[in-house]
Amino acid sequence: MAAQAKTPWEFSCDLEVDFESDEKASMVYAALAVDKELQPDKVKRNMSVSDGKLTVRFEAVEARFLRASFSSFVDVLTLATKTIEEFGGGMAL
- Helix-strand-coil percent breakdown of the chain, rounded to 5? 40, 25, 35
The full set of domains in the chain, from first to last, is 11-86 (3.30.310.50)
Tell me: the pLDDT tens digits for 9-68?
Answer: 799 999 999 998 999 999 999 999 988 888 889 999 999 999 999 999 999 999 999 999
| Its pTM surpasses 0.85 | no
Query: Beta-strand (E) ranges in 1-93?
Result: 11-18, 43-50, 53-60
Q: Which of 14, 18, 11 is nearest to 61 (CA)?
A: 11
Cβ count within 10 A of residue 44? 16
Average pLDDT over residues 71-87: 90
d(CA 6, CA 80): 37
